[in-house]
């Protein structure tokens, strides 16, 4: 990661953007030396777009549906890559981004990409994690931040936040509890990247000798 005073971040979103708001707040209150250079949304109705515009952040809406017509992933990726090349971020963060990206796009992005996933990876990749965890009778759940690779939710896990599942838990209550963990895990992970504790270039290259074994785990019940 470049040695600079502020980490330049681009964020890809699809939904409400609560984790985007956490990053916006950290940028605005100075708790993290970051600059959100832009936000890309694949939904024009995503509330994350409102959050970004309210904060004066450049937004590119590449909606997956326009006038009833579906934008192909190839078209989305072409325009998204052009936008990222314009912004030149140091890091791309997928925060509630709900499209699967192609290997070609992932390899073409010139900086590391990380994703926030609502499970304790490598368990429960994909969707509907809270229901699946409860159906399986798991004792613990949480969220993970991992490097983005072409295989779904398969990149090196960098950080995790854990909680204990209550006996009367529902998928809805569990989702709310995990979301609170996410709001702590995202800035924690960014801080580790900024301080060089997580050297993403070396981790991507498999040069982890001397590192504390990954992932860094937080118990935030």
Q: Where are the domains of the chain?
A: 1-111, 119-144+159-220
Average pLDDT over residues 98-124: 97
The annotation status of 144 as a binding-site residue, yes or no, is no
Average pLDDT over residues 61-85: 84
Q: What is the pLDDT of residue 37?
A: 98
Q: What is the pLDDT of residue 67?
A: 53
CATH of 119-144+159-220, one of 1.20.1250.20, 3.40.50.170, 3.40.1480.10, 1.10.3470.10: 3.40.50.170
Cβ(42)–Cβ(14) below 8 Å? yes
Average pLDDT over residues 6-23: 98
Helix ranges (DSSP H) in 30-170 = 47-54, 73-87, 103-108, 129-135
Average pLDDT over residues 200-221: 87
Indicate the SS3 state at residue 20. Answer: helix
Top-level class of domain 1-111: alpha beta
The annotation status of 19 as a binding-site residue, yes or no, is yes
Could you tell me if residue 96 is left (phi over 0), alpha (psi between -120 and 50 degrees) or otherwise beta?
Answer: left
- 174, pLDDT greater than 60: yes
Residues 23, 147: Cα–Cα separation, whole Å: 18
Average pLDDT over residues 37-51: 97
Tokens representing 75 are 């078209």
The annotation status of 30 as a binding-site residue, yes or no, is no
Cβ(119)–Cβ(138) below 8 Å? no
pTM of the model: 0.94
Residues 5, 189: Cα–Cα separation, whole Å: 17
Q: Which residue has the higher pLDDT, 141 or 210?
A: 141
**Terminal Cα-to-Cα distance of the chain (whole angstroms):** 32
Is there a common fold for 1-111 and 119-144+159-220?
Answer: yes
pLDDT band at 1 (very low <50, low <70, confident <90, very high): very low
> In the chain, what percentage of residues exceed pLDDT 70?
95
The annotation status of 115 as a binding-site residue, yes or no, is yes
Active site residue 64: no
Average pLDDT over residues 30-42: 97
- 114, pLDDT greater than 50: yes
DSSP symbols for 198-221: S-HHHHHTT--TTSPPSPEEEE--
The annotation status of 18 as a binding-site residue, yes or no, is yes
Average pLDDT over residues 97-125: 97
pLDDT band at 191 (very low <50, low <70, confident <90, very high): very high
Q: What is the pLDDT of residue 66?
A: 53
- Of 64, 107, 117, 183, the catalytic one is 117
């Amino acid at each position: 990661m470049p040695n600079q005073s502020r980490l330049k971040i681009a964020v890809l979103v699809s939904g409400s953007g609560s984790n985007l708001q956490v990053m916006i707040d950290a940028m605005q209150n100075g708790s993290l030396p970051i600059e959100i250079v832009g936000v890309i949304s694949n939904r024009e109705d995503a509330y994350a777009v409102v959050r970004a515009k309210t904060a004066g952040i450049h937004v590119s809406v590449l909606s997956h549906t326009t006038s009833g017509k579906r934008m192909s992933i190839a078209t989305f990726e072409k325009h998204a890559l052009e936008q990222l090349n314009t912004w030149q971020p140091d890091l791309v963060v997928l925060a509630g981004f709900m499209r699967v990206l192609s290997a070609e796009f992932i390899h073409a992005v010139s900086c590391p990409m990380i994703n926030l996933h609502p499970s304790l990876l490598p368990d429960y990749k994909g969707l509907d994690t809270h229901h699946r965890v409860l159906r399986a009778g798991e004792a613990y759940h949480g969220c993970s931040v991992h490097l983005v690779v072409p295989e779904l939710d398969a990149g090196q896990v960098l950080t995790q936040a854990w909680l204990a599942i209550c006996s009367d838990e529902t998928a809805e209550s569990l989702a709310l509890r995990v979301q609170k963990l996410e709001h702590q895990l995202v800035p924690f992970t960014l801080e580790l990247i900024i301080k060089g504790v997580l050297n993403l270039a070396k981790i991507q290259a498999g040069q982890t000798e001397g590192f504390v074994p990954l992932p860094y785990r937080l118990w935030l019940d």
